[in-house]
Amino acid sequence: MAKAVKADDPIFDLRMNRSAPDLWPMLEALYGRHPGYEAFRLALAAMLKTAWKERPNDLKHLDLQRDLEPDWFLRPEMAGYVFYIDRFAGRLTDVLDRLDYLEELGITYVHFMPCLKPRPGDSDGGYSVMDYGAINPAYGTMADFKAVAAELRRRGISVCVDMVLNHTAKEHDWAERAKGGDPAYQDYYLMFDSPALPEAYERTLVEVFPDNAPGNFTHYPEIGKWVWTTFNEHQWDLNWANPQVFLEIARIMLNLANQGAQVLRLDAVAFMWKRMGTRCQSEPEVHMILQALRACCRIAAPAVIHLEEAIVAPQEMLPYLGRGRHDGKEGNLAYHNSLMVQFWSALATRDTRLMTHVLGRHFPDRLTNATYATYIRCHDDIGWAVTDEDAGALHISGPAHRAFLSEFYEGGFPGSFAQGVLFQVNEATGDKRISGSFASLAGLEKANSPEAEDLAVQRLLMGHALIAGFGGIPLIYMGDELAMLNDMTYLSVPEHAHDSRWVHRPKMDWALAETRHGGETPAARVFAGLRAILARRRATPALHGAVPTQVLDTGNATVFAFRRAAPVEGLVCLFNFSEGWQHIPGDWLRGAGVVEFHDALSDRPVQLHGDNLALPPYGRVWLR
Length in residues, the chain:
624
Cβ-based neighbours of 46, under 8 Å, separated by 6 or more: none
Rounded to 5°, the CA angle 306-310-316 comes to 115
H/E run at residue 559: strand 559-564
Closest CA relative to residue 393, chosen from 428, 357, 365: 357
Residue 607 phi/psi, 5-degree rounding, is: -95, 130
Count of other CB atoms within 10 angstroms of residue 534: 23
Residue 497 phi/psi, 5-degree rounding, is: -60, -30
In Å, how far are 168, 211, 227, 277 from 232, measured between CA atoms?
11, 11, 11, 22
- DSSP string over 157-180: -EEEEEEE-SEEETTSHHHHHHHT
What one-letter code names the amino acid at 474? P
In Å, how far are 107, 244, 436 from 210, measured between CA atoms?
37, 32, 20
Q: Distance (Å, rounded) from C-alpha 624 to C-alpha 602? A: 12
Across the strands, what pairs with 506? none
Where helices occur in 160-242 by DSSP H, the ranges are 173-179, 183-186, 196-202
Catalytic-role residue among 63, 283, 309, 381: 309
Catalytic-role residue among 22, 162, 237, 267: 267
What one-letter code names the amino acid at 343? F
Across the strands, what pairs with 194? none
In terms of DSSP bridges, do strands 421-425 and 432-435 run parallel, antiparallel, or are they unpaired? antiparallel
Q: Distance (Å, rounded) from C-alpha 339 to C-alpha 341? A: 6
Does residue 67 carry a catalytic annotation?
no
In terms of DSSP bridges, do strands 109-112 and 80-83 run parallel, antiparallel, or are they unpaired? parallel
Q: Distance (Å, rounded) from C-alpha 380 to C-alpha 386? A: 17
Count of other CB atoms within 10 angstroms of residue 134: 14
Give the chain's radius of gyration (CA, Å): 24
Helix axes 142-154, 243-259, angle to 10 degrees: 60
Count of other CB atoms within 10 angstroms of residue 153: 17
Does residue 267 carry a catalytic annotation?
yes
On whether the CB atoms of residues 87 and 508 are closer than 8 A, the answer is: yes
Annotated active-site positions, please?
A: 267, 309
